[in-house]
Homo-oligomer: A and B are copies of this chain.
Amino acid sequence: MKERFFAYVDERQRRYIDQLGEAVAIPSVSSQLDTHLPDIQKMMEYAANFIQRLGGQWELRDNPDGTSERPLPPLLLGHFPVDPRKKTVCVYGHLDVQPAHIDDGWDSEPFVLTERDGKLFGRGSTDDKGPALSWLWVIEAHKELGIDLPVNIKILYEGMEEYGSEGLFTFIRDEHDKFLGDVDFFCISDNYWIGKSKPCLTYGLRGLAYFELIVQGCEQDLHSGNMGGAVHEAMTDLIRLMGTLVDSQGRILIEGVMDDVKPVTPEEEAFYDPIEFDVESFKEEAKVKSISNKLLHGNKKDLLMARWRFPTLSLHGIEGAFSGSGAKTVIPAKVKGKFSMRLVPDQDPVRIEQVVRAHIAREFEKLNSPNKVELNMLHGAKSWLSSPDHPNYAAAAAAIQTVFQTTPDYTREGGSIPITTAFEEATGMNALLLPIGACDDMAHSQNEKYNITNLMNGIKVLGMYLHELGKIGG
Chain A residues at the B interface, C-beta cutoff of 8 Å:
206, 208, 210, 212, 216-220, 222-233, 235-237, 239-240, 242-243, 246-250, 282, 286-292, 294-297, 303, 306-307, 310, 312-319, 321-333, 338, 340, 342, 367-372, 378-379, 413-416
- Chain B residues closer than 8 Å to A227, beta-carbon distance: 286, 307, 414
A290 pairs with B248, CB closer than 8 A = no
Picked from B247, B286, B316, B326, the residue with its CB within 8 Å of the CB of A332 is B316
Contact at A295–B231, with CB atoms within 8 Å? yes
Kindly provide the distance from the CB of A288 to the nearest chain B CB, expressed in whole angstroms. Answer: 5
Across the A-B interface, give the 4 residue pairs with the lowest CB-CB distance, nearest first: A225-B415, A317-B321, A317-B322, A243-B243
**CB closest residue in chain B, given A246:** B236
Q: Write the chain B residue with the least CB distance to A244.
A: B243
Quick check: A322 and B306 within 8 Å, CB to CB? no
Contact of A325 among B290, B291, B319, B331 (CB under 8 A): B319
If A232-B250, A286-B227, A296-B231 touch, does A316 touch B307 (CB 8 Å cutoff)?
Answer: no
| 12 residue pairs bridging A and B, Cβ less than 8 Å apart | A208-B329, A219-B291, A224-B414, A227-B307, A228-B342, A229-B312, A230-B286, A240-B248, A247-B367, A315-B321, A317-B328, A319-B324
A342 touches B291 (CB 8 A): no
Tell me, in angstroms, the Cα distance from A453 to B408 when the chains sit together.
Answer: 88
Copies in the complex: 2
B316, A414: Cβ atoms closer than 8 Å:
no
Residues of B within 8 Å of A328, CB to CB, are 316-317, 338
Is the pair A229, B319 in contact by a Cβ cutoff of 8 Å? no
Indicate if the CB atoms of B218 and A342 lie closer than 8 Å. no
Give the CA-CA distance A212 to B326 in the complex, in Å: 9
Given contacts A224-B340, A228-B314, A322-B317, contact A239 B249 (CB under 8 A): no
Pair B218/A303 contact, Cβ less than 8 Å: no
A379 nearest CB neighbor, chain B only: B327
Structural contact, A307 and B229, CB atoms closer than 8 A: yes
Contacts of A316 in B (CB 8 A): 224, 235, 321-322, 327-332
Are the C-beta atoms of B327 and A340 separated by less than 8 Å? yes
